[in-house]
Structure 1
Amino acid sequence: MLAETARPTAAPPTPPRLGFLRGWDTAIIAAVLVSILVASLTVEGFASPRNTGFLLIDMIPILLLALPMTLIILTGEIDLSVASIAGFISCLFGALWSSGLPLETIIPLCLLLGAVSGAVNGFLVSVVGLPSLAVTIGTLALYRGLAFVVLGDQAVTSFPRAITTALQAKIGATGIPVWIIPVLLLALVFGVVLHFTGFGRSLFAIGYSEDAARFAGITVARTKFWLFVASGAIAALVGIWWTLRYGSARGDNATGLELSVIAAVLLGGVSIFGGKGNLPGVIAGVALLAILRNALQLASVPEDTLSMLTGGLLIAAVVAPNAIVWGRTLRRKPHTT
């Protein structure tokens, strides 16, 4: 767990299926709509189909990584190595392509190795019992180092132009990228699993109280292990996407992306302590972060300022919900004279 908190050992209440229709999540969804309106009126080119396409394409890797990250954080754990796994797989993808292997062989191999990378995290956390924060900080450095071992400071850019162009295909003149559709379908699958299945309810139970979850018959260690495996596999998918999207396999691909992912998940209302959150709020958090960055980039705001924005939103996403809960608790306390 990320932090020890005093919680009752009783089983948690069943998480509401439509919990995103109130509170913090509603505020984030409203902020997304307001941001779109303000940016469309004040930032030149923001509402154009061309920029819409770039905005949605840039959302794809963050949204993909946010799906398993949401489930992991709900259990009270975290995975800081996702961007490094993506960079490692990107380099491996480029090395295998340079060796002459076909994509039909490279892609399954890369996905498998991504799952194995996630399994290493899962084993150390769920079997050995090490804190996920410490484990994934270590593997963050390990996998990024392996990326440079594979390619060094070189880059592989000899990918077929037809493939790299296909990843930017749009739906007619709308500017909406074709590939956002399967990503949203995958998000729908994650949402159904999380909010409408026993497995999803078990994740809330684990995050609320591991002891209570074990008494209820939930295999906590096995569940966490497979969540990290899924996170590694999707990070590998992001590494493949990143490589083909930009037509380049490099050791620094996706550097720093984990901060944007975690900021989006926490901004979407998922508690850093686990046991609370939902996927619609996370999707809204991803959208809000992407919209703000895109609008500020169009307004020629320096990259350093954009990084400060991500950090500031990450802090706000942790502090604000807890401040709201503290305020409500304070109001409910009886006044003494």
Structure 2
Amino acid sequence: MLLVLCVGVFAVGSASDGFGEQSNIAFLLLDYSEVALLAFALLPIVLTGEIDLSVASTLGFCSALTGTLWDAGIGFETIVPLVILAGVALGSVNAVLVVRFGLPSLAVTIGTLGLYRGLAYVLLGDRAVTGFPENYRPLATDSIAGTFVPYATVLVLFVGAAVAVLVHKTTTGRSLYAIGLGAQTTRFSGIRVDRIKFSLFLLSGGLAAVASLIYTLRYNSARADNANGMELVAVAAVLLGGVSIFGGRGTVLGVATALLAMAGLRNVLFLDDVSNEIQNVITGLLLILSVLVPVVFKPRRTKDAPLEPSVADAERRTGADPGGELRRDHQGV
């Protein structure tokens, strides 16, 4: 269904003037580069049954920090590692609250969503910092010479491939699915659930910081409200890509296909002069449908279907008492 949606979007888009031009395809890919990085950061977290709704606010704070440091005269080569470390630090706050204190990730990251955005306003207020170095801006705005593929898209592909290897080709990746299906059982199996979850929140903060650098350079503007609301688009892409909100199911290829479909849809609406408000409505509907459809079409056990034979049934069929010894031991205890 997702592949049909993706093909349908690009088929409809081909009828719009300028959709197939290389410059527009490059713009389409660039427009969703930060969303893609946030979605790949969310994917392994959601596989474990957790969520991080603070990724866009982390991006906004890191963008504000970039502007503050640049305004203070610090070189951009120094700013980059400092901003990435700041993103990891913000991710560690979520990790400590969720993993060490056992708080629900939904409540924690809703709180840090507001907290990090507020800290961004503390740094910059309502002003914007511009004038970032011209030798770095092409990395976030230009395409590789002779192609329509932006440099930022190459970074997105690299991150996506790294996440795919992590999720699908490593023991840690298999552990993510196991944690999503049952964290307590996985813990009894000897897998270090807390350490894995802690690392995923750090990874999420670091990727959000990288996305903030691309966003700031692409628009040549550091503002506290950068990427406001982008977390909903990233979550929609993850869920639309087939990742279960309850954890334990999903693929990187599904998320990548969802990102491509949503980027194409946004571009078609942009070419047809559809307002941002209508685009937000469509994103919200996609988010609802991505959660609703798997529930509606999930195979369900009929009411009359027996789950499994009981001990009494086994006794009647065999004349034995397979549960008697267990009951006697239990009574003795």
TM-score scaled by length of structure 2: 0.89
**Which AA in structure 1 matches 2:203?**
A
| Aligned counterpart in structure 2 of residue 283 of structure 1, from 226, 251, 256 | 256
- Cα shift at 1:261: 0.1
**Which AA in structure 1 matches 2:268?**
A
Match of 2:313 in 1: none
Please give the per-residue CA displacement for 1:72-96, whole angstroms capped at 9, x wherever unaligned.
0010100000000100000100110
Shift in alpha-carbon separation, 1:323–1:51, aligned structure 2, 3 A: same
**3-state SS of 1:179 partner:** helix
Whole-angstrom distance in 2 between the partners of 1:289 and 1:31: 9
Shift in alpha-carbon separation, 1:198–1:143, aligned structure 2, 3 A: same
| Aligned counterpart in structure 1 of residue 222 of structure 2, from 233, 249, 253 | 249
Is 1:329 aligned with 2:303? no
Match of 1:179 in 2: 152
Match of 1:203 in 2: 176
Shift in alpha-carbon separation, 1:172–1:331, aligned structure 2, 3 A: farther
Alignment of 1:236-275 (within 5 A): 236-275=209-248
Match of 1:68 in 2: 41
Alignment of 1:96-111 (within 5 A): 96-111=69-84
| Aligned counterpart in structure 2 of residue 170 of structure 1, from 126, 143, 151 | 143
Over the matched positions of the two proteins, sequence identity in percent amounts to 47
Please give the per-residue CA displacement for 1:246-278, whole angstroms capped at 9, x wherever unaligned.
000001001000000000000000000001111
Alignment of 1:115-194 (within 5 A): 115-194=88-167
Whole-angstrom distance in 1 between the partners of 2:304 and 2:222: 57
Whole-angstrom distance in 2 between the partners of 1:192 and 1:285: 19
- Cα shift at 1:161: 2.9
- Cα shift at 1:332: 10
- Cα shift at 1:182: 2.5
**Which AA in structure 1 matches 2:17?**
E
Is 1:32 aligned with 2:3? no
Match of 1:227 in 2: 200
Whole-angstrom distance in 2 between the partners of 1:290 and 1:231: 21
- Cα shift at 1:176: 2.0
**3-state SS of 1:162 partner:** coil
Whole-angstrom distance in 2 between the partners of 1:171 and 1:102: 25
* Contact in 2 for aligned 1:164/1:246 (Cα 8 Å): no
Whole-angstrom distance in 1 between the partners of 2:112 and 2:39: 18
- Cα shift at 1:177: 1.1
Please give the per-residue CA displacement for 1:285-335, whole angstroms capped at 9, x wherever unaligned.
11111111110111111111100000000000000011111xx32689769
Please give the per-residue CA displacement for 1:4-57, whole angstroms capped at 9, x wherever unaligned.
xxxxxxxxxxxxxxxxxxxxxxx21232122112211x2111111111011000
Whole-angstrom distance in 1 between the partners of 2:258 and 2:303: 29
- Cα shift at 1:147: 0.4
**3-state SS of 2:137 partner:** helix
Please give the per-residue CA displacement for 1:146-189, whole angstroms capped at 9, x wherever unaligned.
00100111110021233223422223454221331232022111
Whole-angstrom distance in 1 between the partners of 2:220 and 2:302: 56
| Aligned counterpart in structure 1 of residue 268 of structure 2, from 274, 280, 295 | 295
* Contact in 1 for aligned 2:47/2:247 (Cα 8 Å): yes
Q: Aligned residues, how many?
A: 306
**Which AA in structure 2 matches 1:178?**
Y
Match of 2:319 in 1: none
Is 1:315 aligned with 2:288? yes
* Contact in 2 for aligned 1:82/1:258 (Cα 8 Å): yes
Alignment of 1:45-64 (within 5 A): 45-64=18-37
Whole-angstrom distance in 2 between the partners of 1:152 and 1:67: 30
Bigger radius of gyration among the two: 2
Whole-angstrom distance in 2 between the partners of 1:324 and 1:315: 14
Unaligned runs of 5+ in 2: 307-333
Unaligned runs of 5+ in 1: 1-26
